[in-house]
Amino acid sequence: KFRERLSLLDPFIDCCQALAYAHSKGILHRDLKPDNIMLGRYGQSLVVDWGLAKVRGEDEEIDREIRSSSIISDQIVGQKDLTQVGTIIGTPAYLSPEQARGDNTRVSSWSDIFSLGAILFEIVTGKSPIQGQTSRERLYNAAMCDYLSIEEICPEAPKELVAIIMRTLAKSPEERWQSADDLADELANWRNGGQVSIYHYSSYELLKRFVARNKGKLIAASLMLAVTGVLLGYNAWQAHQFDEEKRLEAERQAKAAEAEYQSELAQRQSALDAINVELRSIEAKTLQDYATSAVQATLSNQASYDPSLPVPVSTSTVGREEISTRALLHAASLLADKIELSKRPIQDRIVHLLPHDEEQQALDLQQSLRFAAARFEATSGAWKFAEEIVLATPCDDAARAEELAFVK
């Protein structure tokens, strides 16, 4: 899977640094491929099989053999991942163009960097960049730098990573990364969330790349002017396409956001409806009236009590059996939820799902229910609990002070 393949970036960066060290000592590997990179048991990364390696500036038996041969024999051409020795040194699926052409005088550290790019291409896409039905076809595609499109086979690949790979796989050696260390640094920077230094090519640079790929067709200065016009027109069309894609994407995102907003709005309204149903079922206002009547009855009994007389049997039990502090506080909590749900922003958009007068009524009733619960507890002797209820009630200071005076 893509994410699992990306986990190989860390050991790949280690391999880039190992190759950079070899290059600093003048050593070229010339046969880099996934089979020649090993991961140790303890996380170490190893670049192996240096059998085709060469010290820059030194001659060796393989080069003499190459110069004495002119073609690849059928016995040498084998499976796509087998190293070939003859005119071509290396593995076709990971060869740089100069190696695939047999231009061994131009083989350099940049050739190894291209092979690193082919390995990185396979890490990201799951496929090697150079494909073909036969070894000869793969060699031809490698020589022509005809590799697969990352965008087509791996559309989820990050654009920054694609840019790094594209530079690593440049047809011209000089256009690749100057060193394996540079490639490792860019990958580490991308992995760590930093910006990649790759920039968009200017029209002149695009023209140079186009000319390099089409030298046979560009045989006169007049044709150069025509190509310039085509390229400028292409750039204008591409810019228009880019703007159009941005506009369509913005519309898509706006529609998706609006649909999500409407869905959340419907859910919010459904939640409010459920609260209203429960409030109607428990008759919050009636609960308050019962509590007020019960408190008044208790206060009346207390006011008429004469210690010299026998304790009277209270005939006023209005509301005591119908209500409880828990019921009052639950009703107040439902009202608080109703108010909060009606005003909580949806996707950073301010909403008001209750008319102002209904919201104010809910606030007033919430306060009244909590104060009724506090008085109900106070007249039952639970003054401390009553005080806590008052202190937790959202109200102005004057109302809170008045209620605290009552419960104390």
CB 158 within 8 A of CB 101: no
> Is residue 310 predicted with pLDDT exceeding 60?
no
Whether residues 266 and 191 share a domain: the answer is no
Is residue 234, in this structure, part of any structural domain at all? no
User: What is the model's pLDDT at position 281?
Assistant: 84
User: What is the model's pLDDT at position 68?
Assistant: 47
φ/ψ (deg, to 5) at 176: -80, 180
CB 266 within 8 A of CB 303: no
CB 26 within 8 A of CB 57: yes
Whether residues 143 and 14 share a domain: the answer is yes
φ/ψ (deg, to 5) at 33: -165, 165
Comparing 241 with 224, the larger pLDDT belongs to 241
Whether residues 200 and 293 share a domain: the answer is no
What's the CA gap between 76 and 83, in Å, rounded? 9
What's the CA gap between 89 and 99, in Å, rounded? 7
Is residue 219, in this structure, part of any structural domain at all? no
Whether residues 170 and 276 share a domain: the answer is no
Model confidence pLDDT, tens digit, residues 10-50: 999 999 999 999 999 999 999 999 999 999 888 889 999 99
Residue whose token pair is 């002119």: 70
Average pLDDT over residues 331-345: 92
3-state secondary structure the chain: CHHHHHCCHHHHHHHHHHHHHHHHCCEECCCCCHHHEEECCCCCEEECCCCCCEECCCCCHHHHHHHCCCCCCCCCCCCCCCCECCCCCECHHHCCHHHHCCCHHHCCHHHHHHHHHHHHHHHHHCCCCCCCCCHHHHHHHHHCCCCCCHHHHCCCCCHHHHHHHHHHCCCCHHHCCCCHHHHHHHHHHHHCCCCCCCCCCCHHHHHHHHHHHCCCCCCCHHHHHHHHHHHHHHHHHHHHHHHHHHHHHHHHHHHHHHHHHHHHHHHHHHHHHHHHHHHHHHCHHHHHHHHHHHHHHHHHHHHHCCCCCCCCCCCCCCCCCCCCHHHHHHHHHHHHHHHHHHHCCECCECCCCCCHHHHHHHHHHHHHHHHHHHHHHHHCCCHHHHHHHHHCCCCCHHHHHHHHHHHC
Contacts of 95 by beta carbon, 8 Å cutoff, 6+ apart: 88, 114, 115, 130, 139, 142
- Compute the half-sphere exposure of residue 104: CA atoms within 13 Å on the CB side of its CA: 26
Is residue 137, in this structure, part of any structural domain at all? yes
Whether residues 159 and 278 share a domain: the answer is no
Q: How far is CA 279 from CA 270, 287, 321, 328, in A?
A: 14, 11, 19, 11
Among the three residues 205, 225, 248, which one is the final residue of a domain in this structure?
Answer: 205
Is residue 236, in this structure, part of any structural domain at all? no
Sign of CA pseudo-dihedral 139, 141, 143, 146: negative
User: What is the model's pLDDT at position 89?
Assistant: 66
Model confidence pLDDT, tens digit, residues 76-101: 444 444 444 445 667 888 999 999 98
pLDDT band, very low/low/confident/very high, at 301 (cuts 50, 70, 90): low
Whether residues 292 and 167 share a domain: the answer is no
User: What is the model's pLDDT at position 62?
Assistant: 53
Whether residues 267 and 190 share a domain: the answer is no
User: What is the model's pLDDT at position 407?
Assistant: 82
What's the CA gap between 111 and 173, in Å, rounded? 7
Is residue 251, in this structure, part of any structural domain at all? no
Residue whose token pair is 């896409």: 125
Is residue 78, in this structure, part of any structural domain at all? yes
Whether residues 282 and 155 share a domain: the answer is no
User: What is the model's pLDDT at position 271?
Assistant: 93
CATH number at residue 150: 1.10.510.10
Whether residues 125 and 263 share a domain: the answer is no
Model confidence pLDDT, tens digit, residues 44-73: 899 999 988 888 776 555 555 544 444 343
Comparing 64 with 157, the larger pLDDT belongs to 157
Among the three residues 159, 183, 205, which one is the final residue of a domain in this structure?
Answer: 205
Is residue 309, in this structure, part of any structural domain at all? no
Q: What's the chain's average pLDDT?
A: 82
Whether residues 328 and 194 share a domain: the answer is no
User: What is the model's pLDDT at position 63?
Assistant: 54
Whether residues 91 and 197 share a domain: the answer is yes
Chain centroid offset of residue 69 CA? 53
> Is residue 319 predicted with pLDDT exceeding 50?
no
Average pLDDT over residues 274-299: 78
Model confidence pLDDT, tens digit, residues 126-140: 999 998 888 889 899
Is residue 224, in this structure, part of any structural domain at all? no
User: What is the model's pLDDT at position 302?
Assistant: 56
State the total domains in the chain.
2
User: What is the model's pLDDT at position 159?
Assistant: 84
Instruction: For residue 318, give its domain range.
Output: 259-303+314-407
Whether residues 151 and 281 share a domain: the answer is no
In the chain, the percentage of residues whose pLDDT exceeds 70 is 79
Give the pTM: 0.45
Comparing 325 with 167, the larger pLDDT belongs to 167
